Amino acid sequence: MRWLFALACSLLLAGAAHAQRIQFRDITAKAGIHFTHNNGAFGKKFLPETMGPGCAFIDYDNDGWPDIVLVNGEDWPGHAKSGGTTLKMYHNNHDGTFTDVTRKTGLAVPMYGLGVTVGDYDNDGFDDLFITALGQSHLFHNNGNGTFTDATKAAGLWGPSEFSTSAAWVDYDRDGRLDLVVANYVQWSEKGDLYCTLDGAHKSYCTPESYKGSSARLWRNLGNGKFEDTTQKANFYDPTSKSLGVAILDSNGDGWPDILLANDTQPNKLYLNKHDGTFEEKGISTGIGFSEDGVARAGMGVDAGDYDRSGHPSIIITNFANQMLSLYHNEGNGLFVDEAPRSEVGRATLVTLGFGCFFFDYDNDGWADIFVADGHIENEIERVQKRVTYAEPPHVFRNLGAGKFQEVTESLGAAFASPKVARGAAYADIDDDGALDVLLTTNGGVAHLFHSEGGTNHSLRVKLVGTKSNRDGIGAVVRVTSGKDQQWQMVHSGSSYLSQSELVLTFGLGAADQADAMEVHWRSGQVDKLSNVPASQTVTIQEGKGIVASHAYTKPRATSEKIK
């Protein structure tokens, strides 16, 4: 048994040593990102102030380089202090810098924005933006000439005045057109704001138990630039929900997209697609509704991914302080089991309050790692809970295989690991070097752009272009085989918290210099098969045609080395 212990130690040491070679360097200022979130706070402690903002990557001009969207709030009526704030759009200059093009693109529209999702809803080849807000959310149509038009009214989305949070594009009826799911939090208004207190003497932010819930909305794309509210028709209506996160996944492997809602102090909801335009809610019966001890936790962010190469998507959900992260493993039989309490993931996240989260392979070794953005909602929380802080470091858990994770946050750089009041988070390869970089927002503070440096493993990036399926290929599954290693990812919108990562897929290949085999399973039923695809490049695969374009990375990584 001594050799087993030695082997385990050597694996842990190898993982730690590798993690120290990768750094996430804060390049925000150098990149030209100058953004400070305006939550409108002026002392009244209104609930929406604690929630935002979200962020996204979008290649809005189709030049192959991801641009940045940072959502913003605004001043409360009668309490102007900022001189006016709007969301920000930053264009990628292809050299590690970005230019503010907000006004040039027509996106300088005032609103109390919270979240964002990216998708080409009219299949014209240019990705559009949907911005969730307190009040009226907005759909911005990409005109294809570097500008956007507010299409909210024209699309039939005007009217609902809600506390909307995360959103996601999904072709739930598989007709080739992207539909829209919008999460809503609680029924709150400035007039109906309640008084809550932590210490009995001062007002604090209320928890959602103080307010009534609000149903998420489902909008079906009619194909003529217009949407129909099918919330009730699709059996999606539930006014008890208090939703903050949305993830799209095929939880049971039937080829139809399901919808997961992370709820705050209400059971999480999993809507299984019944293939006829309707859903059946199965959150509790599948095991994701509650914690192991039967408590509805404060779900914030959410993502789905196959972290153990089981062939089934598992789920992460961030929760409130003293509740730990949920790591629901998909057992493949319709049930999920929370592995967090028995893992380092659970122990390390017990005290922190998580928001944005995602699976991503930060070291390109072919195993999905976990990122969590942390930050409390109450700036004086230390007065009543000594172990809990307002600003908190993020978490990065390196996947060691066999369902094991190791926290490596401190090894990834002092600026990256420093405490923040974080909310939204997204990833993309901003400089075409094959490694994923991280965008992070803070509540009432600045945004952070972290560049990944020092990795040596190979990767392969895949962009999909649908023809019968939706243009972005959202919902399509890409399977990659390299030697004995097999992995897969689904192109998906939404996930994290109020945020959207890039739609291009990045597959870490470790030491391998090619993918021996690739399969793309489109939602139309089309399957495209490829073989011997070299690493260190981005390939564009068109439905039914295979690879139609490719280019080698502009800044390829150094010679690879075997880690696992």
Q: Kindly report the backbone phi and psi dihedral angles of residue 253, in degrees, each rounded to the nearest multiple of 5, phi listed first.
A: 65, 30
| Per-position DSSP letters for 247-298, written without gaps between them | EEE-TTSSSS-EEEEEEBSS--EEEEE-SSS-EEE-HHHHT-SS-TTS---B
Q: Strand 485-490's sheet: what is its strand order?
A: 485-490, 477-482, 514-521, 527-534
Residue 17 DSSP code: H
Mean per-residue pLDDT pooled into runs of 10, the chain (564 residues): 40 43 96 97 94 98 98 94 91 97 97 98 98 98 98 97 98 98 96 86 87 97 97 98 98 98 97 98 97 91 98 97 95 96 94 97 98 92 82 97 96 98 98 98 98 96 98 98 97 98 98 97 98 98 98 70 30
pLDDT in the model for residue 387: 83
| Beta strands at 458-465 and 537-542: parallel, antiparallel or unpaired | parallel
Q: What are phi and psi of 142, to 5 degrees?
A: -80, 120
Contact 476/466 with Cβ under 8 angstroms? yes
- pLDDT computed for residue 54 by the predictor: 98
| Peptide bond between residue 313 and the one before it cis (omega within 30 degrees of 0) | no
pLDDT given at position 557: 59
Integer angstrom CA distances of residue 221 from 119, 255, 279, 297, 517: 12, 20, 17, 33, 35
- Closest residue by Cα to residue 358 from 547, 511, 499: 499
Please tell me the distance from the alpha carbon of residue 384 to that of residue 523, in angstroms, as a whole number.
Answer: 51
What global pTM score does this model have?
0.94
Residues in the chain, total: 564
CA 21 to CA 408: how far, in whole Å?
A: 11
Which structure tokens are listed for 256? Answer: 């139809």
Contact 140, 131 (CB under 8 A): yes
pLDDT of residue 564: 30
| Beta carbons of 506 and 461 less than 8 angstroms apart | yes
pLDDT of residue 12: 45
pLDDT the model gives residue 555:
78
The Cα–Cα gap between 252 and 479 comes to 17
Q: What angle do CA 404, 293, 381 make, to 5 degrees?
A: 85
